[in-house]
A and B are shown apart, each in its own frame.
Chain A
Amino acid sequence: MEKVLIELQQAIENGETQIAMNKTKEALNYGIRTDKIIQTAVNPAFKDLGQKMFDGEIYVTDVLMASRAAHAAMYVMEPILSRSTGTSKGIVAIGTVAGDLHDIGKNLVIMMLQGSGYTVIDLGIDVPAETFIEAVRMHKPHVLALSSLLTTTLPELDSMMEALVEQGLRTQVKVIVGGAPVTAEYAGRIKADAYANDLFEATEAVGDLMKNRIGKYTV
């Protein structure tokens, strides 16, 4: 029974979508619960990948293929996951700030968060502050995640933080920021709650924010 979970983990790490789907079905047939499948196969796969990415052993293509395989596994579990209430670990609203059209990094963060069991509201690219604000009001996300890849759009992060305060929403939502020119120091300066350097860190950081924990990525 444990063997199938190890095989599922392997299939995800290798980006083998079909095998990942089959192994997930097999695991469910054995009567293994979805939360156990996620905890012992999906999450460890991403943890491993995170380490390998950090060590420079794998590349964006590998992470994309793995995300696709993890999505396929989640897709198989979806009917069961949505039947049992409260399985979502929390809601994250995410977008690339106004003026910036880069989205590869943001999309990877989304895949990873979804693969780890969060409900993600993707606001897309070139998102003006008003849209973020509207989304916070409407969806009441636990975490608002902002991506900026351009140095010229960094000031948008500042404006976003100000807008949240002005609109009286700052205490309702935790804010995490990221993207190539963003640093922990910058995040601290604009009084965001967390900063993360890649998709794996981002997921860990969101986990900490969800639990109100001071973690490695809290600023």
Chain B
Amino acid sequence: MNQRENFFAMIEGKKPEFIPNSMEVYKSCIAGTCITDSPLMGGVDSFGVNWVATKEGAMPEPNKFLFDEIADWKEHVHFADLDSLGIEAAAAKEMEDFNQNNRNELVVNVFSACGLFERMAAFMGFENALCSLVEDPDSCREFFEALADYRIACHNRFIDAYQPDVLTYFDDLATANGLFMSPKVYREVIKPSHQRIVEAVTSRGVIFSQHTCGKCEEIVGDYVEMGARIWHSAQSMNDLEGIQEKYNDRLIIEGGWDSSGPASYIGASTEDLIEEAKRCANVYGQKGNFILMPTLLNENGNSLFVGDPRLEPMLKAFNEINKL
């Protein structure tokens, strides 16, 4: 089986031949979301929020907020006219060298960054955003509904432009120790709009992958129920084995890597990385519903963008022990 066939075997609940890894199974596409949601290289986004680039990645300029009260969102939030952004041209450029043969080999995965909650935090800061969820849930719901409409429109454009197999939607809702908000608050305030976003993607025959870092296991069941088939970044502080046991072939766990642990420290040796990859393969890989996702930052930044000499030998070693 090639990467694509092996991936779809997993999705269809059949037995894959090997444990895939996120660096080799996907053609990941980011140009669209860089225009509509978060400029990778920094700069002002389509909502007027300034992003600062750091060598590890970009984030909204700290302590500079568009507004403080979520009740005021309508005065400050203006959704861009999607016709004017050049999404299609950017997508075409990104897919320039990707031909039908590549499509038969790999899985096309379109990223959609800065989800509902993160966007709210980009406007008003994390602390304000979190307090608003509790203090003014009605305004939050109204804001999320409007934002979901925008995101759905963006996703439809991405789907038309890229013809992807998977769409990975990013929203960080958790810390290393637990959710930012209670599951009740998530379900009452965020989930209704989140659900519309998931359904709009799956209704077009595209696989929905949900990215949430940190310990978010309390709402992973909600993701599955809404129709997500992949949970992305699935970090090791969650009970990943229990979750794999529970959802079996209904959910693929993509992650496993201990991104705050010794294998991610600066100066970790190639052997440390191989060790971590092997641990993931042994502990999470055996049931055929796991994709290894190494998260590696180094002195120069995020290895995804700046590369890292340790990755190749690590993947080579992983691919020697990943047969099922």
Q: Which residues of A contact B (CB under 8 A)?
A: 15, 53, 56, 58-62, 64-65, 68, 99, 101, 103-105, 107, 125, 150-152, 154-155, 180-181, 198
Question: Please, which residues of chain A bring their CB within 8 A of the CB of B127?
Answer: 64, 104, 107
B260 x A152 contact (CB < 8 A): no
Tell me whether B134 is interfacial, beta carbon within 8 Å: yes
Lowest 6 CB-CB distances: which A-B pairs, in order? A181-B260, A151-B264, A152-B297, A180-B176, A61-B181, A60-B180
Question: Please, which residues of chain A bring their CB within 8 A of the CB of B52?
Answer: 101
Question: Please, which residues of chain A bring their CB within 8 A of the CB of B261?
Answer: 181
A151 and B263 CA atoms in complex are apart in Å by 10
Contact with A along B26-62 (1 / 0, CB 8 A): 0000000000000000000000000010111001001
A125 x B62 contact (CB < 8 A): yes
Contact with A along B179-218 (1 / 0, CB 8 A): 1111001000000000000000000000000000000000
A61 x B131 contact (CB < 8 A): yes
Question: Please, which residues of chain A bring their CB within 8 A of the CB of B134?
Answer: 15, 61, 65
Question: Please, which residues of chain A bring their CB within 8 A of the CB of B176?
Answer: 180
Tell me whether B298 is interfacial, beta carbon within 8 Å: yes
Known: A59-B178, A155-B266. 14 other contacts (CB 8 A): A56-B178, A59-B180, A59-B182, A61-B181, A64-B127, A65-B134, A99-B55, A103-B62, A150-B297, A151-B266, A151-B297, A152-B55, A154-B265, A198-B177
A56 and B179 CA atoms in complex are apart in Å by 9
A65 and B180 CA atoms in complex are apart in Å by 12
Q: What's the tally of chain B residues with a CB closer than 8 Å to chain A?
A: 32
Tell me whether B22 is interfacial, beta carbon within 8 Å: no
B297 x A59 contact (CB < 8 A): no
A154 x B131 contact (CB < 8 A): no
A181 x B180 contact (CB < 8 A): no
Q: Which of B57-75 contact A (CB under 8 A)?
A: 59, 62
B177 x A68 contact (CB < 8 A): no
Q: How many inter-chain residue pairs (CB < 8 Å) link A and B?
A: 72
A59 and B136 CA atoms in complex are apart in Å by 17
CB closest chain-A residue, reference B186: A59
Contact sample, A vs B, 19 pairs, CB 8 Å cutoff: A59-B182, A60-B175, A60-B180, A60-B181, A64-B130, A65-B131, A68-B131, A101-B52, A101-B59, A104-B126, A104-B127, A105-B175, A151-B297, A152-B297, A152-B298, A154-B266, A155-B266, A180-B260, A181-B260
CB closest chain-A residue, reference B180: A60
A154 and B261 CA atoms in complex are apart in Å by 12
Tell me whether B24 is interfacial, beta carbon within 8 Å: no
- Determine how close the nearest CB of chain B comes to the CB of A193; give it in whole angstroms: 22
A60 x B130 contact (CB < 8 A): yes
A64 and B132 CA atoms in complex are apart in Å by 11
Tell me whether B312 is interfacial, beta carbon within 8 Å: no
| Given A151-B264, A152-B56, A61:B297 Cβ within 8 A | no
A59 and B179 CA atoms in complex are apart in Å by 6
Tell me whether B133 is interfacial, beta carbon within 8 Å: yes
Tell me whether B12 is interfacial, beta carbon within 8 Å: no
Partner of B265, one of A59, A62, A125, A151: A151
Contact with A along B236-277 (1 / 0, CB 8 A): 000000000000000000000001110011100000000000
A62 and B184 CA atoms in complex are apart in Å by 12
Q: Which of B61-101 contact A (CB under 8 A)?
A: 62
- Determine how close the nearest CB of chain B comes to the CB of A167; give it in whole angstroms: 24
Tell me whether B299 is interfacial, beta carbon within 8 Å: yes
Question: Please, which residues of chain A bring their CB within 8 A of the CB of B59?
Answer: 101
A116 and B127 CA atoms in complex are apart in Å by 20
B185 x A101 contact (CB < 8 A): no
Question: Please, which residues of chain A bring their CB within 8 A of the CB of B299?
Answer: 152
Partner of B131, one of A64, A151, A155, A181: A64
A59 and B264 CA atoms in complex are apart in Å by 27
A99 and B59 CA atoms in complex are apart in Å by 12
**For B127, B131, B266, B301, which residue has the most chain A Cβ atoms within 10 angstroms?**
B127
CB closest chain-B residue, reference A103: B62
- Determine how close the nearest CB of chain A comes to the CB of B304; give it in whole angstroms: 14
Question: Please, which residues of chain A bring their CB within 8 A of the CB of B175?
Answer: 60, 104-105, 180
- Determine how close the nearest CB of chain A comes to the CB of B299; give it in whole angstroms: 7
| Given A60-B175, A68-B131, A99-B54, A181:B181 Cβ within 8 A | no
B264 x A181 contact (CB < 8 A): yes
Question: Please, which residues of chain B bring their CB within 8 A of the CB of A105?
Answer: 175
A125 and B301 CA atoms in complex are apart in Å by 18
CB closest chain-B residue, reference A152: B297
A2 and B256 CA atoms in complex are apart in Å by 51
A18 and B131 CA atoms in complex are apart in Å by 15
CB closest chain-A residue, reference B300: A152
A181 x B265 contact (CB < 8 A): yes
A99 and B177 CA atoms in complex are apart in Å by 23
